[in-house]
Amino acid sequence: MKNLILLFIITIAFASCENRRTQSQALSESIEEFKKTVNFESNVFIPENYIEREVDTLMSNGYRVKIKTYSDMTNTVLFSKIKDTINYQTHYRNFKFDIRVEKQGQLIYEESFDKDKANKLFGYRDDFITESPLHNFNKLAVLQSIQVDDEPTLKNKVLIDVRYTIPETNRFALHTLYVNDNGTINMVHATQN
23: in domain: no
- What pLDDT, on the 0 to 100 scale, is given for residue 153? 73
The strand order across the sheet containing 157-165 reads 142-149, 157-165, 172-180, 185-192
Phi first, then psi: give them for residue 57, nearest 5 degrees: -120, 125
pLDDT level of residue 64 (50, 70, 90 thresholds): very high
- What pLDDT, on the 0 to 100 scale, is given for residue 94? 96
84: in domain: yes
159: in domain: yes
Stretch 49-65: mean pLDDT = 93
Q: Comparing 163 with 16, which gets the higher pLDDT?
A: 163
pLDDT level of residue 18 (50, 70, 90 thresholds): low
6: in domain: no
Single pTM value for the model: 0.76
The 10s digit of each residue's pLDDT in 96-122 is: 999 999 999 999 999 999 999 999 989
Q: Comparing 66 with 186, which gets the higher pLDDT?
A: 66
Q: Comparing 58 with 22, which gets the higher pLDDT?
A: 58
95: in domain: yes
- What pLDDT, on the 0 to 100 scale, is given for residue 127? 87
SS (H, E, C) the chain: CHHHHHHHHHHHHHHHHCCCCCHHHHHHHHHHHHHHHCCEEEEEEECCCCCEEEEEEECCCCEEEEEEEEEEEEEEEEEEEEECCEEEEEEEEEEEEEEEEEECCEEEEEEEECHHHHHHHHCCCCCCCCCCCCCCHHHHCEEEEEEEECCCCCCCEEEEEEEEECCCCCCEEEEEEEEECCCCEEEEEEEEC
Q: What is the CATH number for 138? A: 2.40.128.510
- What pLDDT, on the 0 to 100 scale, is given for residue 30? 76
Looking at the 3D structure of the chain, how many domains does it have? Answer: 1
By CB atoms closer than 10 A (0-12, 13-18, 19+), residue 75 is middle
- What pLDDT, on the 0 to 100 scale, is given for residue 45? 94
- What pLDDT, on the 0 to 100 scale, is given for residue 175? 93
1: in domain: no
138: in domain: yes
175: in domain: yes
Q: Could you list the residue range(s) of the whole structural domain that residue 170 is in?
A: 37-192
pLDDT level of residue 40 (50, 70, 90 thresholds): confident
Q: What percentage of residues in the chain have a pLDDT greater than 90?
A: 50
For residues 19, 25, 27, 33, the Cα torsion angle rounded to the nearest 10 degrees is: -70
pLDDT level of residue 16 (50, 70, 90 thresholds): low
Integer Cα distance of 35 and 41 in angstroms: 13
- What pLDDT, on the 0 to 100 scale, is given for residue 33? 74
- What pLDDT, on the 0 to 100 scale, is given for residue 79? 93
The 10s digit of each residue's pLDDT in 131-152 is: 888 888 999 999 999 999 877 6
Integer Cα distance of 57 and 55 in angstroms: 6
